[in-house]
Homo-oligomer: A and B are copies of this chain.
Amino acid sequence: MNSSQLFDNIVKKRSFLCVGLDTETEKIPEFLKNRRDPIFEFNKKIIDATVEYAVAYKPNVAFYESAGPAGWTALEKTVKYIRKEYPDLFIIADAKRGDIGNTSKMYAKEFFENMAFDAVTVAPYMGEDSVTPFLSYNDKWAILLVLTSNKGAGDFQYHNEDGIMLFERVLTVSQKWGNNNNIMYVVGATRAEMLKDIRQIAPDHFLLVPGVGAQGGSLKEVSKYGLNNRCGLLVNSSRGIIFADNSGNFDKAAGEKARELQQEMEVYLSERKLI
């Protein structure tokens, strides 16, 4: 999917919501646990209940890997299900990969060819040749970690050379490797005030913003500093949506949480005259 198609979907759904499918086996409602593939069954119901309000889905690969080969199968089935039922959704493998060139190439093959993801999150520490293998596919994306939402973000991301912080260098240098049709950036919602600075360096790129909800970030702040004239934001919520309730109504509760976020997003999109 290219950025125009993504923007069209945002306008159509009046939403820039990404639903994080961080499906922890232990947290799946009890009545689903004796099904043949509880992870997939859970995801399917979550997707069906939230799809009206979301433009993107983001399984965090860790939660599937930790369930072994069955977890991988559930991940593959989830991607296939979305592709078949809702072909206009943007699907992100939150994998935070990054390795020497020939190895990153294997990861790109896995996520883009074997599974039909649109994008993969990539850790930038190893530099150019660890990222470029993800940029050689048409309409596929690398989403680089820039400023993350966790506490440890401060340990290295602010390392400051002559007034340029590491995360700013990642933004600047990586723009030489690709463009705003194959690179996005991860910026945690818990650093919303930094979005102003980031929009100076990368005015046109899409930003993937995790940390709204369970991690405490504010959608209002993120939208204020992050929206550009093609929206330019995908705001993710994971636990706040998918584990809103663990009864037989978990999917309805998830849909309700997604709808709340969508309605707030609609206000901000409308204020900016994007819809």
Contact = CB atoms under 8 A, between A and B. Distances in A.
A156 B170 contact: yes
Interface of A: 22, 24, 60, 62-63, 65-66, 68-70, 72-73, 76, 94, 96-101, 103-104, 106-107, 109-110, 114, 123-131, 145, 148-157, 159-161, 166, 169-170, 173, 215
A106 B148 contact: no
Contacts of A76: 68-69
Contacts of A127: 148, 150-157
Contacts of A68: 72, 76, 110, 114
Copies in the complex: 2
A75 to B, nearest CB: 9
A145 B161 contact: no
A66 B110 contact: yes
Contact of A69 (B22, B60, B73, B160): B73
B166 A152 contact: no
A65 B110 contact: yes
Nearest to A166: B159
B62 A99 contact: yes
Contact of A150 (B126, B151, B152): B126
